Amino acid sequence: MYESLWPMWVTLGLVLVYFVKQWLHPARATRLHDQLRQDWLQAVSSSKGTEVLAVQTIRNSLMSCTMTATTATLGLMGGLTLLHSGWGDAVAAGRADVLQLHTLAVLVLLGLSFISAMLAARQWHHAGFVAGMPIDSPQRLQWLDVGQRSIRRAGHYYALSVRLLMWCVPVLLVGISPLAGLIAAVVLLIVLATGIDR
């Protein structure tokens, strides 16, 4: 039974290696977007009358986070429902352990994506208060560093949540067709390394 699990372990290993690398040394795209967001906050902080524009821009980013969190939550609920409804058949076929491992892996990725999106939303919320302060107020100057840190963290958490959702696809596929899932994981890794992360 467990001899067919090696593609799942390799796929999960790729996920783990990718995220440890991302955590310790974020992708070039993430670093560039950090600089872009920090430059943006600095620019709107030196131009009077941009407070409403700044808050609207942050609100749009906050909405993206909530959409990602909602998608992860729906996937999590759907996965739990499917696991519960198919559990009896899996036990009868002697595949309960395999089903449990694959489902657990997908559910963990979905749960982490939800948590990352909510952490991003929290940071966007903080940045929104700073961006909405009047440009010439001493409070804005006092909190500008906090706003820039919040914007940087929000970007990191959001990038992580989106990538966690992307990695759900090969991990899910490896439960349906082990070789197809492993191939999908390698393709996703190449797409991330040569495109999205650059």
For residue 172, the model assigns a pLDDT of 85
The pLDDT tens digits of the residues spanning 137-146 come to 999 989 999 9
Sites in the chain below the pLDDT cut of 70: 1-4, 83-84, 86-91, 93-99
C-alpha distances (whole Å) from 154 to each of 56, 62, 86 are 16, 9, 38
Tell me how far the alpha carbon of residue 162 is from its chain's centroid.
3
For residue 123, the model assigns a pLDDT of 95
DSSP 24: H
pTM equals: 0.85
For residue 180, the model assigns a pLDDT of 87
